[in-house]
Structure 1
Amino acid sequence: MKVKLTLLTVLVLWVMSCGTRQSSDTTIQPKPNIILINIDDLGWSEPSFMGSAFYETPVIDNLSKQGLVFTNAYAAAANCAPSRASLMTGKWTQRHGILTVGSSERGKSADRKLIPIVNKTDIDEKFLLIPELLKENGYHTIHAGKWHLSDDPLQNGFVVNIAGSHAGHPSGYHAPFKNIALKAEKGERLTGLIMDELIQTLEKNKEPFFVNYAPYAVHTPIQPVTSLLGKYETKEKIPGKSNPKYATMIEDVDSNIGKLISYLKRTDRFKNTIIIFTSDNGGLFFVSNQHPLRAGKGSYYEGGIRVPFFVVWEGKIERGNTNSTPISNIDIYPTLLEMAKIGPPGDLILDGNSLWPILSTQEVLESRPLFWHFPVYLQAVVGQNENRDPKFRTRPGSVVRYGKWKLHHYFEDDALELYNLEDDLGEKYNLVDTFPEKAEELYQLLEQWRSDTNAPIPTETNPEYQQPTR
């Protein structure tokens, strides 16, 4: 009898263990949370993890060491709205038509030789944005900060909107805010208010979540955090790259990101959260120069389009690495889909590439060209600049980078500029006459790309244009 009971017990235990193994094997892994941190106008070399010796970003520095840093990362455009539209759609600017901020007729008419392409200021509803697709796949979508692509991000796939509207920058960083709907006591600072409300929202809402954290900082107006100002006013200066007021704004953003990271770790959410950190374009040259890069925001020299960029996902991405592959913020969309294991709709066309092979295994991807198209005008700002002329940050043109080579093509005079970024990061030496075959090769790439994407090129002469006298 004992033998029979023992055999029966063994049989029951075996069946139970099979059931346990089956349950374990079919357990659905929780979807990763996603936080996209998109700082406004933060230059490529301004975080201290990218080399700044004056501006201090200890939280961001530490976070960067927990993932992979891309040293050749770019925004798809040199100013706010088109860059953000390309990020959210995963498409080149000519596909969505948001080419600049406001009117494309920027600067004096008498200085504009061509009639620029008409600009769109709202993202078309026909595009499937990142938050819309994530929402369809079970994500709780939260926007916090600057939106700039429509009147209300709730129209574009977000369930929660904190301070987002068509506003491109605040009237000021201290309450009351004239152009941003956010409850605040008089004098409270915008950057901290947005972060505090974001954390309160995360405390109340479910997982998985997607957060588009886009603080208005460090965009103008340059208004310092007074409690931090003394430290930077007495710190050793670096010519052109040590603006004390601006430094306090950068540190304020950094400390608020620290609040978010502390919250994620305290609630055990950090380990299953993908964090992407970047900026929407280069920094403003007159606020802080972008050396060793040339020019700044609004220009298609490196200072206007190269941005800081890293990705963190604990246990999934090896810590402490850097990668020099040229990438663009249009790569964020396909990367997130692959990381979250979301199959895109069959009719969705994305212009970027997934970075997951690099992030997960440091795979070397096939070299590809990166492109920019800006068929409009953007006037210069007061102060020094390193643009082609003092009147515009950029005139209508297109740019391609392929490997170490970068070619600019400007439409007014059909001018070409060729730079070897490996030897000349500051784009000081135009090599178009030295390497005409390389210039022609890149020009043909650019021409084919413009044709393939139906990129509009301005050709009509402006009747109000006045030829400059010498």
Structure 2
Amino acid sequence: MKIECNTVGLIQDKKMIIRTIKFLFIAFLSIGTLQCKPAETELQDDKKPNIVLINIDDLGYKDLGFMGSKYYETPNLDALANEGMVFYNAYAGAANCAPSRACLISGLNTPRHGIYTVSPSDRGDIKTRKLIPIKNTAHLSDTIYTLPEMLKSAGYVTGSFGKWHVGENPLNQGIDINIGGSSKGNPGKEGYFSPYKIDHISNGKKGEYLTDRLTNEGIEYIKKYKDTTFFLYMPYYTVHTPIMGKEEFVAKFESKKGQNGQNKPDYAAMVYAMDQNVGRLLNAIEQNGLEENTLVIFTSDNGGIRAISEQNPLRAGKGSYYEGGIRVPLVIKWPGKIKPNSTSTATVSNLDFYPTLQHITNPTKKANLLDGINLEAILYGEQPVTRNLYFHFPIYLQKYDLLKDQGRDPLFRTRPGSVIISGEWKLHEYFEDGELELYNLNTDIGEKNNLAQYNLARTKQLYEELSKWRIRTNAPIPTSSNEAYDPTANQ
């Protein structure tokens, strides 16, 4: 029934007016549920989600219960995995802390920001290096438009609680509230217990555990900004060295039998404390009524140190571009958007977080260039786009453990080179001698059988794609010989 503006003037009978009003009232009641409910849903759908990004330091791919560990105990993260999507082919942007975090925060691959390692780049004995490595950039340039800056442009309050490592102060790179973050890459000697040795944090009572404290700060942030839209970056220092667990947790794992190269009670205690604190953080989200509109990402910045915790069957660990150094755990949860208890075998990277969040939050100012892809099609269960991953490391990283590292040689975890992952295939190129290694990750995830000489067509194809990518990104290749090199050194 349609009533024009002059309807009342045309109706002379008061009873008619009353009947008309009653009719309209009943009509509105009858359709109210249909009209109002979609409107509320539409408003809810349009509301930007809070974003919680948890980035653990040096946590290995297999260091969690839901990823297959039988020794470490991670009940809270196992529950998170059941509530979101678990990625089995997730990669860090690089094999150690600073470059990986620079990739995540900038959305750019290493040749674009120049951070290849934790300075310097000429690691190891000078007599064992054939080439002069490319100089390393310590921090992200101020000209780079960071992930937090983009989120601020989208109306977010931004907070970081823990290890920053890509600049002196995250307040200069898009973070509004910073606790514990600076250029420091680890908590320092005995640094997991107060009094602390990191910057931008006050000491707690003696013996306070750093992982607990950072969580406390994060929870207070949630409470304070629950009525806004916020980004909470939780880059815990744990489980980076020094390996220090709470005494009661260490005792818990001393009585538990390890297996498959995972057997250190002090490290297990750190993993357990990390899991408890992630649980506390997620509980705070729920208790403050924010769970339904909060997107949670949980990952690690690179592979674990193999001498501390093995990631079998993956080869090597932190600092290596074999799978153990770059493959990481990843869970993403977003109620109502991501199907619970879902999994993905799509090849993804921490480079993808920036473009994904940028598309979701639609900021006023967007990044001009990003090297990752938008993951939404994967997150929502659609067909993923085929893509390649590239890694470039024109530097040296010396060994951790001669016997356990599983590097290409016993002296280095990494020698200068590049890597491409394309579908099931992975090609390594080494700049010192031009050597190529080709592996089929579907049949040889441990990278034991080099197929470069047996599959020349695939080797040539990937080498050409890798070379073209280096040209596109202006990736520097070390070519200057090191005059101090001695081929007999350390033999």
| TM-score, normalising length: structure 1 | 0.95
Q: Give the CA deviation at 1:261.
A: 1.1
Partner of 1:326: 347
Contact kept, 8 Å, 2:154 with 2:364, in 1: the verdict is no
In 2, distance between residues paired with 1:85 and 1:145? Answer: 15
CA deviations on 1:400-442 (whole Å, 9 max, x unpaired) are 0111110000000111001111111100111111111111111
Q: Give the CA deviation at 1:339.
A: 2.6
Partner of 1:228: 249
Partner of 1:316: 337
Q: Give the CA deviation at 1:290.
A: 1.7
Amino acid at match of 2:391: W
Q: Give the CA deviation at 1:224.
A: 1.8
CA deviations on 1:380-419 (whole Å, 9 max, x unpaired) are 1145310011211100000001111100000001110011
Q: Give the CA deviation at 1:334.
A: 1.0
Of residues 428, 438, 462, the one that matches 1:442 is: 462
Partner of 2:117: 100
SS across alignment from 1:211: strand
Matched, 1:300 2:334: no
Identity of aligned residues (%): 46
Of residues 437, 445, 451, the one that matches 1:425 is: 445
Amino acid at match of 1:43: G
Partner of 2:427: 407
Partner of 2:19: 6
Contact kept, 8 Å, 1:337 with 1:343, in 2: the verdict is no
Contact kept, 8 Å, 2:419 with 2:428, in 1: the verdict is yes
CA deviations on 1:164-218 (whole Å, 9 max, x unpaired) are 1111000121111223332211111100011001111221224210011010000
Matched, 1:128 2:145: yes
In 1, distance between residues paired with 2:476 and 2:307? Answer: 31
Q: Within 5 Å, give how 1:267-306 maps onto structure 2.
A: 267-306=288-327
Of residues 185, 188, 201, the one that matches 2:205 is: 185
SS across alignment from 2:83: coil
Q: Within 5 Å, give how 1:188-267 maps onto structure 2.
A: 188-205=208-225, 206-267=227-288
Of residues 365, 379, 399, the one that matches 2:398 is: 379
Contact kept, 8 Å, 1:337 with 1:344, in 2: the verdict is no
Of residues 162, 173, 186, the one that matches 2:192 is: 173
Q: Give the CA deviation at 1:342.
A: 4.0
SS across alignment from 2:296: strand
Contact kept, 8 Å, 1:276 with 1:312, in 2: the verdict is yes
Contact kept, 8 Å, 2:100 with 2:301, in 1: the verdict is yes
CA deviations on 1:448-470 (whole Å, 9 max, x unpaired) are 10011110000001111112277
In 2, distance between residues paired with 1:126 and 1:9? Answer: 64
SS across alignment from 1:281: coil
Q: Give the CA deviation at 1:18.
A: 10
Q: Within 5 Å, give how 1:341-360 maps onto structure 2.
A: 341-342=362-363, 345=366, 348-360=368-380
| TM-score, normalising length: structure 2 | 0.91
Contact kept, 8 Å, 2:193 with 2:210, in 1: the verdict is yes
Contact kept, 8 Å, 2:113 with 2:141, in 1: the verdict is yes
In 2, distance between residues paired with 1:267 and 1:260? Answer: 11
Q: Give the CA deviation at 1:5.
A: 2.4
SS across alignment from 2:429: strand
In 1, distance between residues paired with 2:16 and 2:244? Answer: 84
Of residues 436, 442, 448, the one that matches 1:416 is: 436
RMSD of aligned alpha carbons: 2.0
Q: Report the number of matched residues.
A: 468
In 2, distance between residues paired with 1:173 and 1:366? Answer: 42
In 1, distance between residues paired with 2:25 and 2:292? Answer: 38
Partner of 2:475: 455
Q: Point out the more displaced range, 102-111 or 143-152.
A: 102-111
Amino acid at match of 2:242: P
In 1, distance between residues paired with 2:483 and 2:30? Answer: 83
Q: Give the CA deviation at 1:9.
A: 4.8
In 1, distance between residues paired with 2:407 and 2:167? Answer: 30
Of residues 340, 345, 366, the one that matches 2:385 is: 366
In 2, distance between residues paired with 1:60 and 1:319? Answer: 14
SS across alignment from 1:84: helix
Q: Within 5 Å, give how 1:79-98 maps onto structure 2.
A: 79-98=96-115
Contact kept, 8 Å, 1:294 with 1:427, in 2: the verdict is yes
Q: Give the CA deviation at 1:4.
A: 3.1
Matched, 1:71 2:81: no
Amino acid at match of 1:246: Y
SS across alignment from 1:46: coil
Amino acid at match of 2:196: F
SS across alignment from 1:65: helix
Partner of 1:44: 61
In 2, distance between residues paired with 1:220 and 1:8? Answer: 74
In 2, distance between residues paired with 1:395 and 1:2? Answer: 92
CA deviations on 1:290-347 (whole Å, 9 max, x unpaired) are 21100000000000000000110111110111110111110111111223344763x6
Contact kept, 8 Å, 2:55 with 2:236, in 1: the verdict is yes
CA deviations on 1:340-365 (whole Å, 9 max, x unpaired) are 344763x61111111101111x1122
Unmatched tracts of structure 1, length 5 or more: none
Partner of 2:39: 24
Of residues 177, 180, 184, the one that matches 1:163 is: 180
